[in-house]
Structure 1
């Protein structure tokens, strides 16, 4: 009995430019963010060599003499650097403990609301502070919390209570700093979690309703596990930013009376490196921040993979 075999079809290799021609609109769209990252993120990396040179603005980067790690030795001998580093870690850690869980809670509460007009109005009110400049927020903070002229303290004085030094005492300043930061960023942070909540299968909630689960039970057993990967990724990213901090927020809220807690790496670089034209110092501190941030990011990702079998990549 003869055995017949079907001829094997040979598929032609896919040409790489075929998908390019088919989806050329998408490739054009991605060129804009790609150009942004190349121009403002990768090209400036070449300037990191300034940290290893006695940079002279007139000689340029390549004309300035090489000094190796002498700049880093000088930085590690500065007392102000250790103060700024301590404050950076302290404020970022407090922000992580206080500000990180709040967007999760807000997203869950907004997701549970059933009155749509109230839900949309609450979202608008929560998102709005994110679009206000920190310069304006700093002015509002002074008008509200100034010890002698602030609205809050004027109300307290009218009630025969003592004024609270929100902006002039280190401990009160830290609480004010955290509170204003929560007000400015918590609403915007809920957007990511609300997007993650839309990906949860609605059949799970219906099955929980059939089983008689309460609302809190559904949140604990369905909602939180559903957004767990998003929480882990954002937590790892935030831990990676522990060594860096924005310039606007501490700068506009700071004053000479609270320098012991408000002087952070970004403001220290501005005062020591930029205002004094010591660009080598500024670049070296920035490079130090980047290395420490990378170590924190990789460590957090490794721990997350060991504990939860989930990471950032």
Structure 2
């Protein structure tokens, strides 16, 4: 499976870091494209404020050499200008693939398929492993990997619905700040609160997870509403989910279901804090001590997710799935 990373920002670099740790022997990352200067790409890969330094990073001519892997590094603003014949999959990590014209640039360059690292209406389908990955089809040439929060939420909702039936619910993601927020107050967003300094306040805002959940699990459409609070931490987010079950449940039965879910859903019985979950590969890690069931039957569950590392691992997992389809 020959893979090219287009866009070497937070997700592009984290995908490469995760791949270097191993676990995806069928994936071969063969090139990187980003408009930033090569020296900047190398520097930001070698020194990362969240994940720490990475050994074995160097520039050799027009290539980034990382731990013995030589990866040609191009700077095309339009990916279709490159020759990607022989490439099986482009990981579209620029955050710009909102239109079909942009999403298809990898195909125009000769690649067989494209996987977008975020929500995109331009994709043939939005697929979340552990939720609706059965819909993945070889005919889908452009696929969206949804969002980090949707990857955490959708498998969890599917498991709870299968076990207890979910008639209604509310999810709040407690989300670390991201590059879409300013470091000082600045007019960057149509949402006034999102214009405030990211590291100084908790910021109530929206999340795409609600509409994406309806897309990924159409049988749940309209049943779960979602909101977000951006908080002044740089890494690891959380899902706080309350649901009305269709049948009675207690804490023990809920935790048994969560602990037995497996796949992209992990769990912990320890009283952890967000920094303890950094670089965990699961889509969500359920904090079982936080589970509650009210006297009226409302279920509350809480799970952590590394919104960069876990999501990047899903990008690589999805690459494998797409490769297996031929």
Shorter-chain TM band: under 0.3
Please state which structure has a larger fraction of its residues in helix: 1
Give the structure-2-normalised TM-score: 0.19
* Structure (1 or 2) with the greater strand fraction: 2
Greater RCO, 1 or 2 (C-alpha within 8 Å, sep 6+): 1
Structure number with bigger Rg: 1
TM superposition score normalised by structure 1: 0.19
